[in-house]
Amino acid sequence: MELFDTHCHLDFQAFENDCDEVIENAIKNNVTGMLTIGTCLESSTSAIKISSKNNNIYAAVGIHPNHCHECKEEDLTRIEDLANDENVVAIGETGLDFFHNTTPVKMQEKYFLKHMEISANTGKPLILHSRESGEELIKMLKDFFGNEPINGVFHCFTSTKKVLEQALALELKIGISGIATFPKGENVRELIPHIPDKYLLLDSDSPFLSPAPKRGKRNEPANIIHIAEKIAEIRGVSLDDIARITTRNARELFNLKGDNEEGKIAYEIRNTLYLALTNECTNNCSFCSRNTGYDVKGHDIKLKKEPTAEEVISAMGDTERYDEVCFCGFGESTMRLEVLTTVADELKRRGKKVRLNTNGQGSIFHKRNIVPDLKGRIDSISVSINTSNASHYQEICQSRFGEDSFAGLCDFVKKAVPEIPEVICTVVDMPEIDIEKTREIVESLGAKFRVRSFVDVG
Ligand code: SF4
Ligand SMILES: [Zn+2]
C-alpha cells in the first residue's frame, strides 16, 4: 500500500526538532509521497530545501492568503522564480480566507491572481486554500481560466455541496483532511460519497488538524492513514482501494511518475479480483465510464491488446486471498467466450466463486444460446438491464443489435435463471428510469433485482 499526503507544512516550527524522524515515520507507515507547502517566501524556500534532500518529498511554493500582508511586493517575483525549481511540483498555497481576516480582501485577490498566472505559465497545479470563500474562489478561478478544466486541488474541503459541484465541474481535485474524522465533521462526511474517484486526494495539513484517534496532538503525514480509513468506510471500499486511488490521483496531478501498471488484465477492488478480457462491447452506453477514461478505482484497465486465456491466468497470480473472481472490465466479456470459459475452468479447479458482469447480449452476439457454456462455470451473473423497455434501452445503450437487444437480454436472463445459481438484473437509480416497472419485468423473468446508486461509492 502507498499513501500520498498532498498537503503538509514540514518547514513549520512544530517540526523544527524532529523533521527527519517525522519523514522517516511517514515512509515507514506507507506514506511514500508528501507535498510540503510554502506559505511565504521563507517557507517556500525551506520547502524546496526539504524536498531537495528527500526523494519522497515534493515542494509547493506560494504565499498563503493570511500572510500576504506580511510580504513585500518583490516576494511574489521571487516565488515566480522559485516556481521553476525542479523540486517544485505545485503553486500555493493560495486562495481566499474570509474567516481569519488577517489580510485585506483586495490584497488577497491580488496575490491569488498572481498565483493563477504563475500556475498557468509553469503548468504546475494550484494548491487552493479557502475559508468561508468557496463561491468567491470559484468565481475568481472562472474569471481567470474561463470554463476550461483547472489544474489544481481544493485543499481541506469544508465548503458546501454547491461549491463542491462547481469545483468538480472545473475538474479540480478535492483534498480531504482529518476534519472527516471529527465529531463535527458531518458536513464533510456527507460530501465524501459525491466525489468521483478520480478527484479524491488525502491531505493531512500537518502540523494541524490531527485526525481521530490522534486529536489534540501535533499532526504528521503518517496520520493520513486515519483519513483514508474513514473515507474507505464511508465509500464502502477497502483501505487499499482508497490508497491506490488517491496516490494515483496525486501522482497524476503533480505530474510524477509512479509504478502504476498500465492496461491491467487483473485488478483488485475490495476482496474481489476483477478480470478484463476485452475493451470491445456490443453497446455504446451514454453513461459508460469508457467515455471518460479507463480508470477504475485507481487501476488503468485500458488493455493494450486482448489477452489470451494463458495471459489472463498468469495475470491473476495467486487467487487464494480473494472471496470471488469477477469477469468485468470496460467491455463485454462474453464476446470472448472461449477465453472466459477456459479461465473459469481454471478458477473452478481452484475452488473459487466466479461472477460475470454482462450486458446480457452474449447469446445474440454468438447467434446461439450461451447459457450452457456458462453453466457450472459461473456462480453468479449480474446483467445490466438498465431500463424497462426496448426503445429506452436502445436510446441509452445504443446496442449494435438495435431494439432487438432488449428482448435478447431478457431471453438470456430467462434461460440463465434455471441453470445458474444466482442471476441478478441491475438498474441505476436515475430519475428517468421507471424502477418499479423494471422490477416487475425482472421478477417475471425469475431473476433477482438490484438498484444501484448513481453516486460513485464504488
Ligand atoms: S455495456 Fe457496459 S461496457 Fe458496454 S458500453 Fe455499456 S456500460 Fe460500457
Ligand atoms: Zn496549508
Q: Are 15 and 43 in contact (CB under 8 A)?
A: no
Whether the CB of 428 sits within 6 Å of ligand 1: no
> Residue 268 half-sphere exposure, CB side, CA atoms within 13 Å?
19
Domain edges within the chain: 3-253, 266-452
Kindly give the number of the ligand 1 atom that is closest to the alpha carbon of 284: 5
pLDDT at residue 389 in the model: 95
CA 320 to chain centre: 27
Q: Compute, in degrees rounded to 10, the torsion defined by CA atoms 40, 42, 45, 49.
A: -120
Non-local (6+) Cβ contacts of 149 within 8 A are 170, 171
Question: Would the CB of 281 count as within 6 Å of ligand 1?
Answer: yes
Residue 30 corresponds to which cell in the numbers above?
506507507
Q: How much distance in Å is there from the Cα of 173 to the middle of ligand 1?
A: 26
Grid cell listed for 149: 478544466
Residue count (the chain): 458
Q: Is the CB of 47 under 6 A from ligand 1?
A: no
Helix axes 309-316, 337-349, angle to 10 degrees: 40
CA 37 to ligand 2 center in whole angstroms = 7
Centre of ligand 2 from the C-alpha of residue 93, in Å:
6
**Atom of ligand 1 at shortest distance to CA of 330?**
3
In this structure, the strands spanning 295-296 and 272-275 are unpaired
- The ligand that comes nearest to the alpha carbon of residue 11 is 2
* pLDDT at res. 290: 81
- The DSSP H or E segment spanning 424 is strand 422-428
**pLDDT digit string (tens) for the chain, length 458 residues:** 999 999 999 999 999 999 999 999 999 999 999 999 999 999 999 999 999 999 999 999 999 999 988 988 899 999 999 999 999 999 999 999 999 888 899 999 999 999 999 999 999 999 999 999 999 999 999 999 998 999 999 999 999 999 999 999 999 999 999 999 999 999 999 999 999 999 999 999 999 999 999 998 999 999 999 999 999 999 999 999 999 999 999 999 999 976 667 789 999 999 999 999 999 999 999 888 888 778 889 898 889 899 999 999 999 999 999 999 999 978 999 999 999 999 999 999 999 999 999 999 999 999 999 999 999 999 999 999 999 999 999 999 999 999 999 999 999 999 999 999 999 999 988 888 899 999 999 999 999 999 987 654 43
Element (H, E) at 422: strand 422-428
3-253 with 266-452: one CATH topology?
yes
pLDDT value of residue 441: 97
Residue 105 CA to ligand 2 center (angstroms) comes to 19
Q: In 3D, which of 148, 44, 145, 164 has the Cα closest to residue 94?
A: 44
Q: What is the CATH number of domain 3-253?
A: 3.20.20.140
Q: Is the sign of the CA dihedral 223, 229, 235, 240 positive or negative?
A: positive
Report strand pairing: 295-296 vs 200-202.
Answer: unpaired
Mutation test of ligand 1: which of 283, 396, 409 has the most ligand atoms closer than 8 Å to its C-beta? 283
CATH class as words, domain 266-452 = alpha beta
Contact criterion met (CB below 8 Å) for 91 and 118: yes
Q: Which atom of ligand 1 is nearest to the CA of 283?
A: 5
> Cis bond leading into 70, ω under 30°?
no
What number does the ligand 1 atom closest to the CA of 397 have?
6
Contacts of 260 (CB under 8 A, 6+ apart): 248, 251, 300
In this prediction, residue 147 carries a pLDDT of: 85
For the CA atoms of the chain, what is the radius of gyration? 25
C-alpha cell at 428: 441505476
- Phi then psi for 90, rounded to 5 degrees? -155, 165
